[in-house]
């Protein structure tokens, strides 16, 4: 769960930040299991916790959520 003090705009900003630091640079890519629908990337938000982003083969964000 994202921090309760984050509104929707903050969540979008943090996801965009992690996307730019990982997906757009090909960094932090997770190993894709045969049953995974999307490519996973793991990066750190500006406040220091991990966010997993799942993208399709074109790089479109399909899911994003915090990782513990």
10 vs 3, 16, 24, 38, 59, CA distance in Å? Answer: 10, 10, 20, 24, 21
CA-based end-to-end distance of the chain: 9
Residue 48 DSSP code: S
What pTM value is reported for the model?
A: 0.90
Q: Are 14 and 46 in contact (CB under 8 A)?
A: yes
Give residue 22's pLDDT.
97
What is the distance between the alpha carbons of residues 10 and 37, in angstroms, rounded to a whole number?
27
> Both tokens of residue 64?
């994003």
pLDDT under 50 in the chain at which residues?
none
Q: Where are the domains of the chain?
A: 8-66
Give residue 68's pLDDT.
74
């Amino acid at each position: 769960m994202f921090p309760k003090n984050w509104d929707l705009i903050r969540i979008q900003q943090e996801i965009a930040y992690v996307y730019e630091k990982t997906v757009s640079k090909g960094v932090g890519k997770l190993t894709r299991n045969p049953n995974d629908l999307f490519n996973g990337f793991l990066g750190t938000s500006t406040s220091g916790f991990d966010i997993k982003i799942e993208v399709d083969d074109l790089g479109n964000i399909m899911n994003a959520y915090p990782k513990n």
